[in-house]
Chains A and B, each alone.
Chain A
Amino acid sequence: MLLQLKNVYVSYGNIEVLHGINIEVKEGEIVTIIGANGAGKSTTLKAITGLVNKRKNSEIIFNGENITNVAAEKIVERGISLSPEGRKIFPDMTVMENLEMGAYIRRGDKEGFEKTMKLVLEMFPRLDERRKQTGKTLSGGEQQMLAIARALMSRPKLLMLDEPSTGLAPLVVKDIFHTIKKVNQSEGTTVLLVEQNAKIALATADRGYVLKNGDIVMEDKASSLMNNPDIRKAYLGERTHSDD
């Protein structure tokens, strides 16, 4: 087991947003967490990266180590990389500088850096064309690619993606998810994917969790979730016969 969340509670002020959730991710898998706006999906990823505090008794185990209270800036060294919600690329830095920051923890290793850079730019040829452009001048799709590419620069064991489809045209979304699949298959990078677009997320993932109001309400193989009538109705926008 690569990642285990045991009984994870998170509160913002007095409002509890995660009510003790349990999630497991095996090495080499693509796991998705789907759910509506405000279900706690992003909070789950922030809890893993240490950007939000967890309540006592919450436990997060990564690669056999307890990382529950590891500070956010130390998480990437453990092998977890996050492509955050809203992309959060560095707007006034060039594509190359953004990628360089992604490899910040490996700043001593020039050779490895060049190798990873080459690999990542092959995966995202659009970024290669835009090397010298600053982040803010990129299109939404390119910014998303940059956010994922930057997260890959640290050569993570676990790549976490927060809503990579937000605000992008369907064709661009397809392209990005294709690349996510490729990263998983060719590099063996484990992926934890949070998405509101349940359709493409379930089509890409091996397994899925359904998060609702801060609780995991369902967990299954992605293909089974996709065929589950309740899921189809609630998250895939499909009308059932009883509605007619």
Chain B
Amino acid sequence: MVNFIQALIQGVAMGSLYGLIAIGYVLIYNAWGILNFAQGDMVMVGAFAVLVTHMRLGLPMWLAIPVALLICMLIGFLIEITAFRPLIDAIQQRRLIATIGIGIFLRNLVRVVFGADPYYFPPIFDNTPYKVGSLTIVPQNIWNMVIGFLLIGALTLFLKRTTMGKSMRATAQDREAARLMGINVKRSMSLTFIIASALGGLAGMLICPVFYVVPTLGTSMGNKGFSSALFGGISSDGGSMLGGIVLGLLEAIGATTISSAFQSSIAYAVLFLVLIFMPNGIFGKKESRKV
């Protein structure tokens, strides 16, 4: 029982990070009509950005993270205007290939600059385990959870309550109609990419102390975020957070009850099952969009 609760905490903590990655996929999918296969690599970029600002430049953590976030936003914006915006009216396949290409480019650029060796990154939050009754609580897990939920909450409020957020949704739903309303759709699209990059990047920073920082970090994290997004329903913002948590829980419970060797394969098993049995995810709408 204790083991199970332990696994729950671990699962939700990890899952909220998956949720942050997943929501980046969802935001861009809704606005652009295409899965952004470079979204996972933005997680990796976030990890390396904080590695640079904290370890190389020696900035204290409270400053290193915001600066690294700004770097992620800038990179996200640059990718959008150079690789994605010129293809906005192109056919799906070309846009899809552009996202794959950007992913390959980012991974290899980082490999050239930093090498392929793994880097160690110190804990951002206190990771000394505390005993609460017979449970072991690691504050780092709790912080990740809190940050994940707060950010999703803030993003939802932004999209539903502010005029800027609403204009982003309007742009995602019908670009031409949005222009007729006087909405600057280019700015709206950029904002979407910037927010998605920041969320992915932040997840990467929070993951840094758990995993080693390597150029391929984005592949595994991207796949997990992608599975979460599909599980929650690729067109649903709220669903992706839940999808992330479900995946995190499955992994943690699987690791304790079956074997920790199976932990990563669980994400792919979930992905397969969702694709076969629930192609619209748990909260997804029936796909009716014409792209």
Closest 9 CB pairs of A and B: A88-B177, A105-B182, A76-B182, A72-B179, A90-B173, A104-B181, A73-B179, A101-B170, A101-B181
* Cross-chain contact A104 with B182 (CB below 8 angstroms): yes
Residues B165-219 near A (CB distance < 8 A): 166-167, 169-170, 173-174, 176-185
Interface residues on B, range: 10 to 19
Alpha-carbon separation in the docked complex, A31 to B57 (Å): 67
Alpha-carbon separation in the docked complex, A72 to B173 (Å): 17
A49 within 8 A of B: yes
* Cross-chain contact B182 with A154 (CB below 8 angstroms): yes
Interface residues as binary, A74-110 with B (CB distance below 8 Å gives 1, 0 otherwise): 1111000110100011111100010011101101000
* Cross-chain contact A100 with B185 (CB below 8 angstroms): no
Smallest Cβ distance from A229 to chain B, in angstroms? 38
| Main secondary structure on B side of the interface with A | helix
Smallest Cβ distance from A79 to chain B, in angstroms? 11
Chain B residues within an 8 Å CB radius of A101: 166-167, 170, 178, 181, 183
Tell me the B residues contacting A by CB distance below 8 Å.
163, 166-167, 169-170, 173-174, 176-185, 285
Assuming the contacts A101-B181, A104-B183, asked whether A51 and B176 have C-beta atoms less than 8 A apart, the reply is: yes
CB < 8 Å neighbour of B163 from A88, A104, A150: A104
- Who on chain B is nearest to A100 by CB? B166
Assuming the contacts A51-B176, A84-B176, A100-B163, asked whether A92 and B169 have C-beta atoms less than 8 A apart, the reply is: yes
Smallest Cβ distance from B186 to chain A, in angstroms? 9
Residues A123-138 near B (CB distance < 8 A): none
* Cross-chain contact A90 with B163 (CB below 8 angstroms): no
* Cross-chain contact A90 with B180 (CB below 8 angstroms): no
Alpha-carbon separation in the docked complex, A89 to B183 (Å): 14
Smallest Cβ distance from A203 to chain B, in angstroms? 27
* Cross-chain contact B163 with A76 (CB below 8 angstroms): no
Chain A residues within an 8 Å CB radius of B183: 73, 101, 104
* Cross-chain contact B169 with A93 (CB below 8 angstroms): yes
- Who on chain B is nearest to A83 by CB? B180
Smallest Cβ distance from A107 to chain B, in angstroms? 5
A-B contacts, 21 listed (Cβ < 8 Å)? A51-B176, A73-B184, A73-B185, A74-B182, A75-B180, A76-B180, A76-B181, A76-B182, A81-B180, A89-B174, A89-B177, A90-B169, A90-B174, A92-B285, A93-B173, A101-B166, A101-B167, A101-B170, A101-B181, A102-B181, A105-B181
Q: Which of B163, B173, B181 has the most CB of A within 10 A?
A: B181
Alpha-carbon separation in the docked complex, A76 to B179 (Å): 9
- Who on chain A is nearest to B177 by CB? A88
* Cross-chain contact B170 with A73 (CB below 8 angstroms): no
Alpha-carbon separation in the docked complex, A100 to B163 (Å): 8
* Cross-chain contact A92 with B182 (CB below 8 angstroms): no
Alpha-carbon separation in the docked complex, A105 to B166 (Å): 13
Chain B residues within an 8 Å CB radius of A72: 176, 179-180
Chain A residues within an 8 Å CB radius of B170: 90, 93, 101
Alpha-carbon separation in the docked complex, A20 to B209 (Å): 66
Chain A residues within an 8 Å CB radius of B184: 73
Alpha-carbon separation in the docked complex, A93 to B183 (Å): 15
CB < 8 Å neighbour of B166 from A75, A84, A93: A93
CB < 8 Å neighbour of B173 from A49, A76, A84, A91: A91
Interface residues as binary, A200-216 with B (CB distance below 8 Å gives 1, 0 otherwise): 00000000000000000
Alpha-carbon separation in the docked complex, A77 to B181 (Å): 9
* Cross-chain contact A97 with B166 (CB below 8 angstroms): yes
Interface residues as binary, A42-80 with B (CB distance below 8 Å gives 1, 0 otherwise): 000000010100000000000000000000111111000
CB < 8 Å neighbour of A51 from B179, B181, B182, B285: B179
Smallest Cβ distance from B79 to chain A, in angstroms? 23
Chain B residues within an 8 Å CB radius of A107: 163
Chain A residues within an 8 Å CB radius of B167: 101, 104
Chain B residues within an 8 Å CB radius of A154: 181-182
Chain B residues within an 8 Å CB radius of A100: 163, 166
Q: Other than the known A82-B180, A84-B176, what 17 A-B pairs have Cβ atoms closer than 8 Å?
A: A49-B180, A51-B179, A73-B179, A73-B182, A73-B185, A81-B180, A84-B180, A88-B174, A88-B176, A89-B177, A91-B173, A92-B169, A93-B166, A97-B166, A104-B163, A104-B167, A154-B182
- Who on chain A is nearest to B180 by CB? A82
* Cross-chain contact A77 with B173 (CB below 8 angstroms): no
Alpha-carbon separation in the docked complex, A77 to B285 (Å): 34
- Who on chain B is nearest to A73 by CB? B179
Smallest Cβ distance from A94 to chain B, in angstroms? 10
Smallest Cβ distance from A148 to chain B, in angstroms? 13
Smallest Cβ distance from B104 to chain A, in angstroms? 33
Q: Which of A88, A97, A154 has the most CB of B within 10 A?
A: A88
Alpha-carbon separation in the docked complex, A46 to B182 (Å): 15
